[in-house]
Amino acid sequence: MTALRDVSLKIGKGEFVAIRGASGSGKSSLLNLLGCLDRPSSGVYRLAGEDVSALDDGELSKVRARKIGFIFQAFNLLQRTTAVENVELPMIYADRAVDRAAATAALKRVGLQERKNHFPNQLSGGEQQRVAIARALINDPALILADEPTGNLDREAGDNVMAILGALNAEGRTIVMVTHDDEVAAKAGRSITLTDGRLTEAKR
């Protein structure tokens, strides 16, 4: 079964793009390709001008660690690791020296510096997602991929997360976000829709 078919898409530097579509439409497959988690079976994917389609696993791992920040619906924090230690993890994956001051500054950026020594089960859902955003930012990626970043949050916490993403986009970071929420999608600068693996709509 082919997850994506004839998808031709260009996302410019500094864009904020929402990906829409029903379950099974190919949203996750597209996000996995953009995040270098999967390789296309055909075609070409260029990230910041570099053809990453044929890179091996080790090379793709380096690209993910250094150029892409990931935010997940389920937060994906290590439960026995403090907030600041969770933020530090991408530095290890990118073969960087762990910088506690930088991790603390990233948490301050999302308003959680006072919670840096708390474990995920001591944080609310909104706080956990803000830790995840800080983690996504720690290696200063140009591209942030967010998979339903407000899906597990109440409206207030979701609005806080979207405000942070909007501020990051205003700084020039490219953000690609999967969402089922019309109000969340409306905050992106551009929305695309997938239907049965095909790009059916692209609008501003």
Among 52-56, 119-123, 136-140, the minimum mean pLDDT is found in: 52-56
Q: What is the domain partition of the chain in residue ranges?
A: 16-80+137-203
pTM (2 d.p.) = 0.92
Phi/psi for 188 (5° steps) reads -80, 160
pLDDT tens readout for residues 125-156: 999 999 999 999 999 998 999 999 999 999 99
- What CATH number labels 16-80+137-203? 3.40.50.300
Query: Which string of DSSP letters, residue by residue, matches 113-149?
Result: GGGTT--GGGS-HHHHHHHHHHHHHTT--SEEEEEST
Contacts of 131 (CB under 8 A, 6+ apart): 75, 77, 83, 86, 87, 107, 110, 112, 120, 123
Contacts of 156 (CB under 8 A, 6+ apart): 126
Does the pLDDT of residue 90 top 90, yes or no? Answer: yes
Q: State residue 38's pLDDT score.
A: 86
Does the pLDDT of residue 1 top 60, yes or no? Answer: no
